[in-house]
Amino acid sequence: MSLVGAAVKRKEDPNLLVGRGRFVDDIKLPGALFMTFVRSTEAHARIVSIDTNEATAMPGVVGIYTIDDFADLPTIPGLPPEVAPLHRPVLAKGTVRFVGDPVAVVVAEDRYQAADAAEAVFIEYEPLPVLASIDSSLAAMADPEGTRIYPDLQTNALPIFPEEPPAPELLNAPMRLSQTFINNRCSAVPIEPLAVVADWAPSGLTVHATFQAPHHLRNQLTSFFGIPQHECRVIAPDVGGGFGSKICFYPEFFLAPAISRKLGRPIKAAQTRSEAMLHMHHGRAQRNDVEVGFDASGKVLALRVHTYQDVGGYPDPTGMGLGVLTSWMSCGVYAIPVAQTALTNVITNTTPVAAYRGAGRPEASFLIERTIDMIADELGLDPAAVRYTNFIQADQFPYPAATNPEAVFYDSGNYPAALDELKRMMGYDALLAEQTARNADPSQPLMGIGLSCWLEIAGFGPNGSLEGFGHLGSWESAQIRIQPDGTAIVSAGTSPHGQGNATAFAQIAGDAMGIDFDSIHVRFGDTETQQQGIGTMGSRAIAVCGDAIKKASVQIRERAVQIAAHLLEAAPEDIEVSAEGFAVRGTPAVTKSWADVATAAFQPLQLPEGLGAGTLDATVFNEVPNFSFPSGAYGCIVGIDRVTGDVDIERYVVVDDCGTVINPLLAEGQVHGGVAQGISQALYEHFTYDENGQPQTSTLVDYLVPAASDLPAYESGRIVTPTPVNSLGAKGIGESGAVGAPPAVVNAVVDALSGFGVRHMDMPCTPEKVWQAMGQPTGSN
Ligand code: MCN
C-alpha cells in the first residue's frame, strides 16, 4: 500500500504529548543571563533622556544598554539600500515609532530581576504627532508641513505599483460598483512567543531561536557580525507555532548574540504574551479600494484595485511584499479580461506588519469574493450563478493572471468542479428554500449562506520568488543517508513549526525508496546538520522540499537496486524492491534485506564497479519552475440572533484542492487550523489603536481568540487536480483555510442581513456591529 495518501499518525506527537518537546525557553545553559527590553510607551516621540541609575543598582542587574552601546552594529538586515532611512537600528535611535518599540535592554541574572529593573528605567519623551492609521498617515501627506514618520524619507507612503487611470473597459461597462474593504489587523498569537538563546563562545556563536527559517537567520547573522558561516550555528528546535510571524528578524535575534559576545555569557530572551502582542509583527491591516465593471449577466468586465498596506512603524521586507501578493491574486478564480492593480505601502505609528498565515492572499480572496457577492446582490442573482459565469475553466491552464500575465501563471485547477462538490455537500438548493422559510419566521435566528471560491499562490519555489526578501535562493535542499542497518536519515532544508512535516516527508521518502516508514528518521532545524536550506513560508515544504526528498529518494533507490543486483547476481531490471528488501523477479526466495544492501554500501569489496563506499547518500537542491495555486470552495451557514446580533456558525463545509494529498489527516488538520483563524478574523480578532497610537487590545482579555467551543465541526471534502510543477503533483495547503474562510463567513453574515439593506460589513462582524446593522433591536430571546 502506498504511504502517500495514507492517514498516518504524526511521528512528532509522542514527545509533544508527554511534555517532552524541546522549545527555546526549555534550553537552560549554565551561566545564562536574561535580557528584557524597556519598551516605548509612546507611539511617536523623540527620546530626550534615558535614566538607568536606579535600575542599574537593582539586584541581579548585570548591564543596561541603549543604542549608544551598539554604535558598531549595522541595522537589521532585509531592506534594500534604496530605502536606507527605513533601515531599523537594533534599538530605537533618537525617535520611537510605535508603542512597544524597544528603547533599552536590561540584562540580569534572571527574568524576574530583569523585568523589575526594566520598570525602573526612566525615559523622558517629547511627543510627536501620531499617525496611527493608513488614513491619518495619508492625510498627513496632503499637508506639506504634515508629519513624516521618517523625516529623511520625506514621505509616509511608498508607492509600489502606481495607480493608472481607469481602463475604458471599466468606464464603459454597463454596470459598475465600488467598495472599500478594510482587512482587519490581526496578531499571530502562537502558543510560544518569541524566544532566543545566544551563546558566543571563543569557537563561535550558537543561537537557539523560535524561527521558521534557521538557515536564513544563520546567513543574516554571519553577515551582520562579519563572521564565517562555520562559526555560527542556528538551531530552531520545536517551534510552538509561527503563523508567518516567525519569519521576520526582530531586534533580540541580533542583540542577544551581541550582548553574549560583550559579556562572555549565554543570553536568553523570551517574550511574555503581552510583549508578543505588541512586538511580534502583526498581519493583514490592509485597505482595498475596489471598482468593478460588469454586465447584466454578472460577467465581470474589468476590475480596478488600489491596495494600501499598513506596514507599521518599521517597514519589514516581508511586510513590504504582502500587497504584491494581494495585487497578483486580486482576480481570484475568475477570468476577468481587464485588471488594474495599484499598491501603496503606508508607514504608521503602529506595530510593524508582515507575514501572517496567508500573507497577502486572504486579503485578495476577501476583496474578490465580497465583490462577486455584491455583484450578485446588485443584480438579484444567485451568488453561485455569478461565480459559474466568471470561472476560469479547467481546460485553460496554465492560465496567465490578468493582474500580471507575464509573470504569474496559475498551474492547474477545476474551480467549477469544486463549487459543484461544495453545493452537493451543502445541499445548496434545499438550503435556499430553508432560508426563505426561516427568515420569514421571527422566532428563528436569521439565516445566511456564504460562499467563497478562493485561490492562493503557494509552493514558493521558482527562482526569484524569495530572493527579494533576502533569502539566498528559492530552492530547497534534501539529503538522504542510509545507515548500515538499513534505516534512513532524511535531512530537510525546511523546518516546520507545527505542520507535521516529519511525518509527511517520511511518507514521501518511504514510498520513493521502498523503506519502511518506521525506519525513516527526519531531521531539520539545525544549520550544523543541514548545512543549507531556505525555510518554511508560503506553504512550500511539501511542494518544494517534499519534491527534493522524492528526487533524492529516487537516486537512493536506483543505487540500492544496483547493489542488490550485484549481490544477487541478477540484472537491475529484475530486482523488486519492498520494505522487506530486494528480490529477484521470478525467484522471490532469493532476497537481500535493506540492512544487507546498506551494509554492502559501506564495503567497497561488495560493490559493483562504479559505486564507492557510502554510495547510499544523496543530496538534492531542488528548483521548481512555478508556484502552485491551491484552490477550493468553502460554504458557511450562519444563524444570527435577532436580538443580540450574535453570529453562530451552524455549518462550515470545505472543499479543498491541494493536488496530490500526502496525508489526509494532516492536510485536513491544516485546513481546520487555517479555517479557525479565518473564522476568527471574520468574527472576533481585531488589533486596534486609539488616535494616540495606544494599543487597545494588547492582552488576550481584550483581543478575542476563539475557544474550540466557539468553532463549528467542519465538513471536509476534496477534489484533486495535481500540479505539473513538481513530481508529487502536490500543492501547498498550510495557509488555505486562512485564505478561504473570511469571505465565506462575511458573505453569510451579509446575506443574513440583506433584508436590512446591508451591502457590506467590515471584519470582525461583532455582535455589536450586527446589532447596529439590524437597527438596534430590543427585546429578549
Ligand atoms: N500536506 C499534505 N498534502 C499536500 C500538502 C500538505 O498532506 N499536498 C500536509 C503535510 O502534512 C504537511 C502540511 O500539510 O506537513 C503542510 O504542508 P505545506 O502546505 O507544504 O506547508 P508548510 O509545511 O510549508 O507550512 C507552512 C504554512 C504556513 S506558511 C503557515 S504560516 C502555517 C502553516 O503552514 N503556520 C502554522 N501551518 C501551520 N500549522 C501550525 N500547526 N502552526 C502554524 O504556525
Q: Which atom of ligand 1 is nearest to the CA of 190?
A: 44
Q: Which atom of ligand 1 is nearest to the CA of 543?
A: 20
Strand ranges (E), 411-524: 446-455, 476-482, 488-492, 520-523
Q: What is the mean pLDDT of each run of 10 residues along the chain (781 residues)?
A: 95 95 97 98 98 98 98 95 95 98 98 98 98 98 95 95 97 98 97 97 97 97 98 98 96 98 98 96 98 98 98 96 98 98 98 97 98 98 98 98 96 98 98 96 97 98 92 96 98 96 98 97 96 96 98 98 97 96 88 97 96 96 97 98 97 98 97 97 98 96 93 96 98 97 98 97 98 91 65
Q: Which atom of ligand 1 is nearest to the CA of 537?
A: 29
Q: Which atom of ligand 1 is nearest to the CA of 731?
A: 8
pTM of the shown model: 0.97
CB atoms within 10 A of CB 429: 11
Task: Give, using CA atoms, the residue closest to atom 26 of ligand 1.
Answer: 539
| Strand partners for 249 | none
State the distance from the centre of ligand 1 to the C-alpha of 459, rounded, in angstroms.
10
pLDDT of res. 710: 92
Q: How far apart are CA 407 and CA 626, in angstroms?
A: 10
Choose one of 539, 721, 723 to mutate for the ligand 1 pocket test, by most ligand atoms within 8 angstroms of C-beta: 539
Choose one of 3, 542, 668 to mutate for the ligand 1 pocket test, by most ligand atoms within 8 angstroms of C-beta: 542
Q: Which atom of ligand 1 is nearest to the CA of 542?
A: 20
State the distance from the centre of ligand 1 to the C-alpha of 489, rounded, in angstroms.
21
Closest CA to 637 of 751, 760, 717: 751
State the distance from the centre of ligand 1 to the C-alpha of 242, rounded, in angstroms.
11
**Residues lining ligand 1, Cβ inside 6 A:** 190, 241-244, 357, 496-501, 504, 536-543, 658-663, 666-667, 670, 673, 730-735
Helix (H, G, I), strand (E, B) or coil at 233: strand
Q: Which atom of ligand 1 is nearest to the CA of 733?
A: 19
Task: Give, using CA atoms, the residue closest to atom 37 of ligand 1.
Answer: 734
Q: Which residue has the cell 506596514?
A: 311
Q: Which atom of ligand 1 is nearest to the CA of 730?
A: 8
Helix (H, G, I), strand (E, B) or coil at 172: coil
Q: Which residue has the cell 468606464?
A: 171
Choose one of 471, 547, 670 to mutate for the ligand 1 pocket test, by most ligand atoms within 8 angstroms of C-beta: 670
Closest CA to 212 of 103, 337, 339, 356: 356
Q: How far apart are CA 35 and CA 725, in angstroms?
A: 46
Max Cα distance, the chain (Å) = 89
Q: Which atom of ligand 1 is nearest to the CA of 540?
A: 24
State the distance from the centre of ligand 1 to the C-alpha of 496, rounded, in angstroms.
8
CA angle, corner 460, sides to 459 and 462, nearest 5?
Answer: 110
- Report the 3 state secondary structure along 599-666: HHCCCHHHCCCCCCCCCCEEEEEECCCCCECCEEEEEEEEEECCCCCCEEEEEEEEEEECECCCCHHH
State the distance from the centre of ligand 1 to the C-alpha of 23, rounded, in angstroms.
19
Q: Which atom of ligand 1 is nearest to the CA of 536?
A: 24
Task: Give, using CA atoms, the residue closest to atom 15 of ligand 1.
Answer: 501
Q: CA gyration radius for the chain?
A: 28
C-alpha 114, offset from chain centre: 32
Q: How far apart are CA 210 and CA 237, in angstroms?
A: 7
Task: Give, using CA atoms, the residue closest to atom 33 of ligand 1.
Answer: 734
Task: Give, using CA atoms, the residue closest to atom 21 of ligand 1.
Answer: 539
pLDDT of res. 659: 98
pLDDT of res. 590: 74
CA distances 427 to 161, 415, 418, 668, 752, Å, are: 43, 18, 14, 21, 18
Choose one of 499, 534, 539, 624 to mutate for the ligand 1 pocket test, by most ligand atoms within 8 angstroms of C-beta: 499
State the distance from the centre of ligand 1 to the C-alpha of 328, rounded, in angstroms.
22
State the distance from the centre of ligand 1 to the C-alpha of 458, rounded, in angstroms.
11
Helix (H, G, I), strand (E, B) or coil at 360: coil
Tell me: cis bond preceding 337? Omega within 30 of 0 counts: no
Q: Which atom of ligand 1 is nearest to the CA of 239?
A: 44
pLDDT of res. 408: 97
State the distance from the centre of ligand 1 to the C-alpha of 542, rounded, in angstroms.
8
State the distance from the centre of ligand 1 to the C-alpha of 673, rounded, in angstroms.
10
pLDDT of res. 781: 65
pLDDT of res. 588: 76
Burial 179-218 (b: 16+ CB within 10 A, else e): eebbbbbbbbbbebbbbbbbbbeeeebbbbbbbbbbbbbb
Are the C-beta atoms of 185 and 285 separated by less than 8 Å? yes
H helices within 264-355, ranges in order?
273-279, 317-328
State the distance from the centre of ligand 1 to the C-alpha of 72, rounded, in angstroms.
39
C-alpha 121, offset from chain centre: 36
Q: Which atom of ligand 1 is nearest to the CA of 669?
A: 14
State the distance from the centre of ligand 1 to the C-alpha of 499, rounded, in angstroms.
5
| Strand partners for 47 | 125
Task: Give, using CA atoms, the residue closest to atom 13 of ligand 1.
Answer: 499
Q: Which atom of ligand 1 is nearest to the CA of 355?
A: 31
CA contacts within 13 A on the Cβ side of 556 = 34
Q: How far apart are CA 544 and CA 781, in angstroms?
A: 53
CB atoms within 10 A of CB 71: 8
State the distance from the centre of ligand 1 to the C-alpha of 320, rounded, in angstroms.
23
Q: How far apart are CA 246 and CA 24, in angstroms?
A: 13
Task: Give, using CA atoms, the residue closest to atom 40 of ligand 1.
Answer: 498
State the distance from the centre of ligand 1 to the C-alpha of 711, rounded, in angstroms.
21
Burial 357-380 (b: 16+ CB within 10 A, else e): bbbbbbbbbbbbbbbbbbbbbbbe
Q: Which atom of ligand 1 is nearest to the CA of 188?
A: 44
State the distance from the centre of ligand 1 to the C-alpha of 609, rounded, in angstroms.
43
